[in-house]
Amino acid sequence: MRNASVICLRWKLTGRIEVFTNLGKLYKKHDSTALDISVHSLRKKNLFRGWHNDYVEVIKVAPNY
């Protein structure tokens, strides 16, 4: 069994939640203008603590076994 974390993206306007396995897949679906942050800047953030702006909230979640 793989013990990996996932990245959750929540759109604040609609409440929709999307789950990705890594930042590359997130940015393959959504570009930096839609998220209002570049992938390089987001990689520098501690996503286990979360990051948000007026449009989206991004958090990395580790599974609990």
Per the structure, the count of domains in the chain is 1
Residue with tokens 């990705």: 20
Distance CA(20)–CA(9), nearest Å, equals 8
42 is a domain residue: yes
The answer to whether the beta carbons of residues 6 and 60 sit under 8 Å apart is: yes
| Parent domain of 32 | 6-61
pTM of the model: 0.87
58 CB neighbour count, 10 Å cutoff: 20
Angle (CA) 28-55-33 rounded to 5° is 45
Angle (CA) 29-35-40 rounded to 5° is 85
1 is a domain residue: no
Quick: pLDDT tens for 22-55. 999 999 999 999 999 999 999 999 999 999 999 9
52 is a domain residue: yes
The answer to whether the beta carbons of residues 60 and 47 sit under 8 Å apart is: yes
